[in-house]
């Protein structure tokens, strides 16, 4: 029987650490639930000690999911381990993941400790973590630049103290597949108790080799791979989950392994990440890019028509790609609509279904053919009703090349009172956003604005993504409409509602200040004082 490769997802830790990918509590929980549906074995939910926000989200994820192991990262320090344990202990399957750098360059310049000191710190802290939790992962940060014999001594010590997984990260994305293969084989050969733990790979993508290196590790005997959705992560990112999994599935002839991943959930997971973070997926991205299954050239199309295997090594359906086809129209009833949404994987509450159906009917009046992609865009732009402080009542915009744009907008507050304002600007979006700002009486800056058509053709829905900020943080919003100005106003209101509700900062000033002081803490290294 094919051996199992455990999928350790670190989208919510290593991934979320990357600039532009931060998520708030609610978003992290939604993502964690989707990762559970995707079938990952381990969710690294965060770095509990790094900020109160991180602690809270690790704990909330630990409560929110059932099947996967939930891990929190911790430095090899008692206070980190305590925080990690306190955050994950309510999980059905908790794990503490502790790490210490082992390469000479990190020991000498960052930690300022000798190999012997590091080894005893590893023993002491793995032992302490094991006294709290059965499932312990120990990572040798910068393993790929660590002396191999020293690495074996560390791995041996960590396992003797109770580590059940030992991770050998390519922290700086420097290694090649042959080197990784050699490293894993060396550890397997020279660590007497290696069979008591699972070897894990955690490869960064600085040279574009993260997936190849992880697979080389697997071929040499690693049985856990650490990865992120779409490969997001520090600098050039981590190994992409979807690439690793589909490589093993598509090339089963070469990789005789199984994973627990429900590959049909891959596209939905990548879309959720993109929707949540507002970062578009590169169209050429393997497996989940828009072009990953597109066949434009005549020769390819001809081949595909004769036999799809000529140019397709895996089917779009196998990764859950939804085809663009006509699904519903003006005359479709709410029953057919709700059924279609269920087929697309969206289970809606009565209130959500009612609101969405109204949106759908409004869209039918403006757009003849409603495709599955349109429906997905509409459902993904839906706001949590409790967060809808401000809703759009009406708007009129005047714009032209020989005039100043003006906007007149009416917004309703809490479904009760309606407020109206007029504003001008250098363009219709500018004027509209100024109007919103005047009505809500809360200044904000526009950090980012993206507009794209959901499908082809002139009557396509326009989807707008915005990021706005005030002194408390940055907030994302999404809006969808056949009218791009309306989509812009809706996206702005979506972000505004998050801004004024208490739950939504992406990176509150308080949180960033705490992260900053934490980073300083990291810079001075692990002094004796810190390990007290």
Q: What is the contact surface with Zn ion in residues (CB under 5 A)?
A: 14
Of 435, 340, 448, 455, nearest to 392 by C-alpha is 435
DSSP string across 346-394: ----HHHHHHHHHHHHHHHHH-SPEEHHHHHHHHHTPPPGGG-SEEEEE
CB closer to ligand KIV, 199 vs 429: 199
Of 412, 491, 404, 403, nearest to 452 by C-alpha is 491
CB closer to Zn ion, 14 vs 265: 14
In the list 41, 54, 141, 265, the residue contacting ligand KIV (rule: CB under 6 A) is 141
Residue 139's binding partner, choosing from ligand KIV, Zn ion, none, with beta-carbon cut-off 5 to 8 A by kind? ligand KIV
CB closer to ligand KIV, 22 vs 469: 22
Pairing of strands 198-203, 224-227: parallel
* Cβ contacts of 359-365, under 8 Å, gap ≥ 24: 360/328, 361/330, 363/461, 363/481, 363/482, 364/329, 364/330, 364/332, 365/330
Give least dist CB 173 to ligand KIV, A. Answer: 9
Residue 99's binding partner, choosing from Zn ion, ligand KIV, none, with beta-carbon cut-off 5 to 8 A by kind? ligand KIV
CB closer to ligand KIV, 171 vs 488: 171
Contact between 169 and ligand KIV per CB under 6 A: yes
Contact between 51 and ligand KIV per CB under 6 A: no
Give least dist CB 9 to Zn ion, A. Answer: 13
C-alpha R_g of the chain: 25
DSSP string across 204-243: B-TTS-HHHHHHHHHHHT--EEEEBGGG--STT-B-BHHH
What's the rounded Cα separation, in Å, for the pair 202 and 42?
Answer: 13
In degrees, rounded to 5, the angle at the alpha carbon of residue 99 between the alpha carbons of residues 94 and 100 is 160
Contact between 162 and ligand KIV per CB under 6 A: no
CB closer to ligand KIV, 138 vs 390: 138
Residue 141's binding partner, choosing from Zn ion, ligand KIV, none, with beta-carbon cut-off 5 to 8 A by kind? ligand KIV
Q: Write down how long the chain is.
A: 532
Contact predicate 429/448, CB 8 Å: no
CB closer to Zn ion, 168 vs 433: 168
**Tokens 């002839």, residue located:** 253
Residues 479-508 binding ligand KIV (CB under 6 A) are: none
Residue 27's binding partner, choosing from ligand KIV, Zn ion, none, with beta-carbon cut-off 5 to 8 A by kind? none
Give least dist CB 104 to Zn ion, A. Answer: 19
CB closer to ligand KIV, 73 vs 499: 73
Stretch that binds ligand KIV, among 167-175, 241-249, 359-367, 444-452 (CB under 6 A): 167-175
User: Residue 279 carries which DSSP code?
Assistant: P
Site string for ligand KIV, 194-233 (x = CB under 6 A): --------x-x-----------------------------
Site string for ligand KIV, 71-90 (x = CB under 6 A): --------------------
In the list 72, 156, 171, 469, the residue contacting ligand KIV (rule: CB under 6 A) is 171
CB closer to ligand KIV, 126 vs 376: 126
Stretch that binds ligand KIV, among 114-122, 165-173, 449-457, 518-526 (CB under 6 A): 165-173
CB closer to Zn ion, 99 vs 430: 99
Burial zone of 150 (CB within 10 Å; 0-12 exposed, 13-18 middle, 19+ buried): middle
DSSP string across 37-55: HHT-SEEEEE-GGG-HHHH
Q: Annotate 200-209 with b (16+ C-beta within 10 A) or e (fewer).
A: bbbbbbbbeb
Contact between 99 and ligand KIV per CB under 6 A: yes
Give least dist CB 52 to ligand KIV, A. Answer: 21
Give least dist CB 10 to ligand KIV, A. Answer: 7
CB closer to ligand KIV, 146 vs 167: 167
Of 299, 245, 228, 246, nearest to 9 by C-alpha is 228
Q: CB count, 10 Å around CB of 180?
A: 27
Give least dist CB 481 to ligand KIV, A. Answer: 41
Site string for ligand KIV, 100-139 (x = CB under 6 A): ---------------------------------------x
Give least dist CB 226 to Zn ion, A. Answer: 7
Contact between 14 and ligand KIV per CB under 6 A: yes
- Rounded to an integer, what is the distance from CA 436 to the centroid of its chain? 30
Contact predicate 281/289, CB 8 Å: yes
Specify whether the backbone of 384 is left (phi greater than 0), alpha (psi in -120 to 50) or beta. beta
**Tokens 């059924």, residue located:** 339
Stretch that binds ligand KIV, among 111-119, 164-172, 182-190, 294-302 (CB under 6 A): 164-172
Give least dist CB 244 to Zn ion, A. Answer: 15
CB closer to ligand KIV, 75 vs 373: 75
CB closer to ligand KIV, 169 vs 473: 169
Binding site for ligand KIV (CB under 6 A): 14, 99, 139, 141, 167, 169, 171, 202, 204
């Amino acid at each position: 029987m094919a051996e199992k490769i455990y999928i350790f997802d670190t989208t919510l830790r290593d991934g979320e650490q990357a600039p532009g990918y931060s998520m708030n509590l609610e978003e992290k929980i939604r993502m964690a639930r989707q990762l559970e549906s995707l079938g990952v074995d381990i969710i690294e939910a965060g770095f509990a000690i790094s900020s109160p926000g991180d602690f809270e989200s690790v704990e909330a994820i630990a409560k929110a999911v059932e099947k996967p192991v939930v891990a929190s990262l911790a430095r090899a320090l008692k206070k980190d381990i305590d925080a990690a344990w306190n955050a994950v202990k309510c999980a059905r399957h908790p794990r503490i993941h502790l790490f210490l750098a082992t390469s000479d360059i990190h020991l000498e310049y960052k930690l300022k400790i000798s190999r012997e000191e590091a080894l005893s710190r590893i023993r002491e802290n793995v032992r302490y973590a094991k006294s709290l939790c059965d499932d312990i992962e120990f990572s040798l940060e910068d393993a790929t630049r660590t002396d191999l014999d020293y690495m074996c001594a560390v791995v041996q010590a960590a396992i003797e103290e109770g580590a059940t997984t030992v991770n050998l990260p390519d922290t700086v994305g420097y290694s090649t597949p042959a080197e990784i293969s050699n490293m894993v084989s060396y550890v397997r050969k020279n660590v007497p108790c290696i069979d008591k733990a699972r070897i894990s790979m955690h490869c960064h993508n600085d040279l574009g080799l993260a997936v190849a290196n992880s697979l080389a590790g697997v071929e040499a005997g690693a049985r856990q791979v650490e990865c992120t959705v779409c490969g997001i992560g520090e600098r050039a990112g981590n190994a992409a989950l979807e690439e690793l999994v589909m490589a093993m599935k598509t090339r089963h002839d070469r990789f005789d392994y199984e994973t627990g991943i429900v590959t049909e959930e891959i596209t939905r997971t990548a879309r959720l990440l993109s929707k949540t973070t507002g970062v578009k997926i590169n169209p050429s991205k393997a497996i989940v890019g828009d072009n990953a299954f597109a066949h434009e050239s005549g020769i390819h199309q001809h081949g595909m028509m004769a036999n799809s295997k000529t140019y397709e090594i895996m089917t779009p359906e196998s990764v859950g790609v939804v085809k663009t086809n006509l699904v519903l129209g003006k005359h479709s009833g709410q029953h057919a609509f709700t059924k279609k949404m269920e087929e697309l994987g969206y289970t809606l509450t009565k209130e959500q279904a009612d609101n969405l159906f109204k949106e759908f009917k409004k869209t039918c009046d403006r757009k003849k053919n409603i495709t599955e992609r349109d429906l997905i865009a509409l459902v993904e732009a839906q706001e949590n009703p409790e967060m809808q402080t401000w809703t759009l009542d009406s708007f009129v915009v005047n714009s032209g090349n020989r005039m100043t744009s003006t906007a007149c907008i009416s917004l309703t507050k809490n479904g009760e009172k309606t407020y109206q304002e007029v504003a001008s600007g250098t363009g219709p979006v500018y004027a509209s956003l100024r109007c919103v700002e005047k009505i809500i009486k809360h200044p904000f800056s526009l950090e980012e604005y993206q507009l794209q058509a959901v499908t082809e053709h002139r009557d396509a829905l326009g989807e707008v993504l915005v990021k706005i900020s005030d002194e408390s943080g940055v907030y994302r919003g999404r809006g969808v409409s056949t009218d791009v100005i309306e989509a812009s106003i809706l996206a702005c209101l979506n972000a505004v509602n998050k801004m004024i509700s208490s739950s939504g900062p992406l990176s509150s000033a308080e949180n960033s200040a705490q992260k900053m002081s934490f980073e300083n803490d990291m810079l001075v290294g692990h002094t004796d004082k810190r390990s007290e």
